[in-house]
Each structure stands twice: as structure tokens, then as C-alpha cells.
Structure 1
Amino acid sequence: MTGELADDEERDLILSMRMDAMLNSSPASFLSIVGGLVAVYVYWAPSVAFGLIAWLACIVAVALTNLLSTLLYARGLPSGWNARSWARFVSVMHLLSGLAWGVGGGWMLSFANEHQALVTVSIGLAAVTVSIPSVVHLPAYNLFQLPIFWSYAVGALFSSLQYSWPIAIGFFLLGAFAIVIGRVLGYQLSTALRLSIENKRLAQHLEERSAALEAANRELEIESHTDPLTGLANRRRLMSFARAVRGRCAMMIVDIDHFKSYNDTYGHVEGDTCLVSVAKALLGSVRPEHDLVARLGGEEFAIVLSDVGAEEARARAEAIRANVQALPMSGPHRVRCRVTVSIGVSTRAADRPKSLSDLMEEADAAVYRAKSEGRNRVCFDNRPRAQDVA
């Protein structure tokens, strides 16, 4: 059933593309008005004046209807019409146009002299030539060209032209061969339309796959730089960010006090909740556009503050310590007991270059000293304070 629906959709799409090709060529109908005026001028005589005027009126009416239909189609009107509705309308208009040219041309050939007949044949063949785009929809093409060729054949039979029989047979054969040629061309054009549709589908599929791959790559990139539990940056992202920081900065190592005891008492699930809560507190204490918070592993975190001096780094570290200590013991991200952290801080002045490894080593030493001095405190590295201030 799904396959049948897909086939119907493809047929409708091909039919729609055929209508685009045919209706976009409708402005050529203006040439039929010119051809009609030329024929009336060549054949004008009082005895056939009424017939010529009536015939020209039909030609003009059909041409104007075709031009109007092009404008309506371009604007999606009538709103309820689909490709099949337009295909029926186009077929009817091609039949009316073919009958107008065929019957009128055959009638004129029946009493034409050699010069008039040459004009009629030229105009008829020009009309068939201009209608070649209609071969994309073979029924409409045949409904136009067959009435012309075969009406011309009948008109030639009743004419007084020399070689009227060979001319009539020639027109009849032209109609028959036009059917064969139109069928071949129509098949080739339909195949081209199907290939065009397949190419568009393939391009769309490749675009969707490319977008999916890009999204997957972005997600992998994020995952490769993100701690899965807390959502903070991981050690890789920390190293990359810290190396990119220029000038003065501060490195903090934050270690949750007595976390092993917390885990043993409340279990690993509560321990993970505690880690997430602390991570949120740390992240809420920095400037996201300038600073970075990362989880080094276990209960240990690192913070890089860019463009800060020693005194500001100390104040920020004290604020971080206080924010963790103030974590709520109720709510979805509550901790089960009062949680504190020890923070080691290392700074780099703008005029005193220091490597990332030096900053990490000093911050590690400082956090170790903070824990050994009683925990829940902030400690700096052992350098004189005057060198820290920038």
C-alpha cells in the first residue's frame, strides 16, 4: 500500500512538472493571434468575410484563455485545482485550439489558390512546431496536432490545388508520424523528469544525512569535552581552555570535604546528587562567558578565572566556598547534610608568566594545605602575597 501511495505521489509530481512546462509556454499563444490576422489578411474577400471573422474570434478566444490560464496557474488559482485538474483543462484547451486551427485551415485550403495555400500550410506547421513543449503531456499534444494535420488533409482533398491528393496523403501521414514521434519524445522527457525527481530526492536525502552527521559530530564533540554526570567541562576541555587564557588569571582546585564518608553514609546515588549540586553551585559562582568550571574526577573540581588578580581571586574563592556551604538540604537537588569544600588557589600576574602545569601544581599544593589546616577554607600557594597582586 505504501508503495502504491509513493507511485501515485510520483505520478502526480511528474504531472505537475509537465503542467509547469506546458503552461509556462502558453505565452506563445500570442503568436496564434498574429498568425490568425495574417491568414485573414491573405484570404479576405467579402464572400468569406463572416467565416474569417468567426474563425479569428475563436482563435483569439482560445489564445486569451491560454494566456489567462498561465497567470492563474502562476498564482495557484483556482485554489482547489491540482495537477490532474490542470491536465484535464489543458487537454480540453489543446483540443479546442487544434479544432480551431484544423477546421479553419482545412476550410481555407478547400478554396485557396497556390499562394494562399502556402500561407495556410506555413501557419499550421508553425503552430504545430510551437506546440512541441506539449509533448511532455502526450494526450494534449495529440489533441492539438491531429485535428490540424487531418483537417488540412480533408481540406486539401476538396481543394482545386494541383497535386491535392499527394498533399492530403502527406498531411495524413504527418499526423500519424507525429503520434509516433510524440510518443518517443514524451517517453524520453518523462524519463528525464523521473530522473530529476530522483536526483532531488537523493540530494535531499544526502542533505538530511549530512545534517544528521553534523549534529552527531557536534554531540560527540560536546561529549568529548563534557563530564557526563555534572555536565561540566572535563579535564580535556580544562586543559584547552587554560592554555588559551593569556595574561593574568587564577586557577582553583575545589575538593569536597569528607566526600568518601558522605558516599559511605548515604550511598552512591546520593553521592552523585551531591556532586551535581556542588557543580551547579560552582557554575553559578563564575562568569560563564569568561571563566570555566571543570570536573577533574571524583569529588575534585577545577576553576579557571580569566583576567583576575589575587585579591579578586581570593574574594571569588570565598564566595564559592560560602555558596557550597549554603546548599539547601531540601528540594530536587538537595544534599543530605551540610557540605563544605576546600579550595586551593594559584594566580598568575600579567607581568609574571607562569605555565599551566605550574598553576595546577601550586593550586594542588594549596588545596592540600587547606585540607590539612582543617578544611572548609581557601588557601593560596606559598608565594609572597605582594607578588600575587596585579
Structure 2
Amino acid sequence: MKFIDGGVTAAEGFIAGGMYCGIRHNRSKPDLAMIYSQVPCAAAAVYTSNLVKGAPIQVTKRNLKNGRAQAVICNSGNANTCNFDGEEKAWRMCEIAGKALNIPAEDVVVASTGVIGQVLPIEPVEQAAPQLAASLSREGSAAAARAIMTTDTVEKEVAVELELGGKTVRLGGIAKGSGMIHPNMGTMLCFLTTDAAVAGPALDQAIRLAVRDTFNMVSIDGDTSTNDTLAILANGMAGNELLTESSADYPAFCEALKGLCARLARMLAKDGEGATKLLVGKVTGAETDEIARTVAKSVICSSLVKAAMFGADANWGRVLCAIGYAGVEVDVNRVDVSFTSRAGTIPVCRGGAGIAFSEDEAKRILTEDEVDINVELHAGSGSAEAYGCDLTYDYVKINGDYRT
């Protein structure tokens, strides 16, 4: 597997694009994205665990009951959530996209992101969809990635390539998410494509396995969004033999999908609202992988740890505190902690107790824009990574007037 350019259109047969349609007040920010496959696809999706779900999720769930899709339409600037006419508007978006692309409305994945509780104006989508559909191209991934952004500061697009059964297969994706991210499913929004031929049940299993170790391990602020959706479309145009759970090439496909999701997950965490650095919680030596995942997520979610990392303060006691309330059995008297960045590694705790270290050296390491928080539990071979960011003054500024 290798990373390549192209994002969501790297896979054969996919085109995409984005434009400003008028949902946002700021005309400099595009607010409508579209992705289309030349042929119908096997499709699967995962959604937010929040009991309050955006209307587009309900419509997309119905559309994907048959495990098929051919296009995605997504707006930013308005979440279409907690509205009396939400599902009607979400279905209308499917109809609009279907007409513009000449496909059934039932074959469209619909998503929205933005402010909750404000009625979604459908007229801008109706007016812009034909123009957007006509503009879709193999170079349109970045435009689609920009159009789904809200408080994100950078576009998030990734693609990978690998050989399966003598055929070159590509997977690509775009994602958005900067705040209100603590998914327990996927991410705020993520759309993945592949030209691999994959049976529906195998595709569904593959994405759930990938999400478990990547997007489910992301937390920016502990808030689970109402609109989290991750959808994947597989059109089979690579010409490989159809992958099922028992195929010899299936593990390689799953590993590539996980690698793609992990790269996007890191991008989401690093672009957290107001963030100055990416934090990666790396837990090793756990009794099981599940315990490792729980501990890593607890550390990365700690507001005190996040604040300490913002200040480049090697306050390892906060890491142990987060381990202690993670809710799993851990012998704290065996825990080692160290911090790593491009500037080096510094051990700060051994056997659950502090050790002598240079505060100046620690600050130099923690000032970098990517920091690993390493936790060794000395209890087994389980391991996991979680992705987060520091907690800054700007996070409060951004969310203090997000709606107004």
C-alpha cells in the first residue's frame, strides 16, 4: 500500500466537485459538494451514536438498506437537524441530485453539517445542483473537500493504492471535522470511494473494523455530533475478483482501508478547533487491545491533559489520573509514561512514580506541533492509538459565538 494523490476521485470512475450555492452568508466559502460514480456501487455507512440525529442520517439509512448507492450530496452551513421539515428537505436533496445526475434519488447519500436547529433553505440547492453536476471532474476532490468544511482550517483528502489479485486498486476519501467531535462511530463527515469490487457484507465489515481503530479513537472536545456520517462506495471498476470476507486479498483491502482512515483521523484531530498541536495517545503492554483503546481514549479526552499539552507542561500526573478513571483494570504501579515529538523523547514516569527529568528538555519536546503521549502498562501485548489535540483559548472563542 502506498499513499497517492487524488483524494475521493483517485479511484477509477469517480468524479466530484464543490461550489457556493447560497446556504452560507459568506460567499467566499463553498457550501455544496457532490461525488458521483459512473456505475452503481456497493455502499455501507456508519453514523453517530447520539440519540439526536440529523434528518439526512434518517434518509441515508433508508436509501442504503439495499446496500447500493451511486452519488453523494452534502451541504455545509446548516446541519438540517431538529427541524420540523428536516427529512422532507433531506429527501428533496436526494431528488435534486438524482435529477441532476440522471440516477434514482434512492441511490444518493445525503449529508449536512453546520448549525443545528435552523431550517435548511432548499432553493439554493435546487438552483445550484445542475451547474454543480456539470462541473464534476477527476480533479474535483479538493473542491468537494472545501465545500463540506465548517470551522475546519484545511481540506482533508487522502488516497492509497495497492495491488489485489494482479489489479491496481485505489481507495480515496475526504473528511471534515474540527469541533463537536467525539464520535463513537466515524467522524463528523467522511466520504470514501474505491474502485475495488467488494461484496456488500464484506464492505460493511471492513469499514466497521477500520472505524473502530481510527475514527472511533478521535476526540477533539468530547461532544458527539448529531450528524456524524461515514459512507463508503465501491464501484468495482478496478476489475479485481469480487472480495468477500473469505477472500485471500480481503485482509490487504481491510488494512489499506484502515490506513486511509487513520491518516484522515489524524488530520481531523490536528485541525481541532483552536488547536496548535496533534496529540497521539499510544498505549502498549495492555492485557487486551480493548483495554488499550479505552486507556488511550481516556488520556486523549482529558481536558487537563489537553490543557497541559497546550502549555507544553510535562504534567504526567494528569495522564495517570486519566488512566485511573478510564474504567478498566490497570495496575497503576507498573505504568510508564514518556512524551515524544520530532525534538526527541523524554521519560517522565516509571512504575507509577515520577522520575527526574529536565523541564527545559520536556518543554522543547512538547512545543512541537505533533506530540505522542506514550503509556506502557506492562500487562500484556495489547496496544492502541487515539488521536486528539490540545485545548486552547481559541476553542472557547470559536464556540462562544458559533451560532451568532
Q: Is TM > 0.5 for Structure 1 vs Structure 2?
A: no
User: Which structure shows the higher strand fraction?
Assistant: 2
Into which bin does the TM-score normalised by the smaller protein fall? under 0.3
- TM-score normalized with structure 2 length: 0.20
User: Which structure shows the higher helix fraction?
Assistant: 1
The structure showing larger relative contact order (alpha-carbon pairs under 8 Å, at least 6 residues apart) is 2
Look at both structures and tell me which one has the larger radius of gyration over its CA atoms.
1
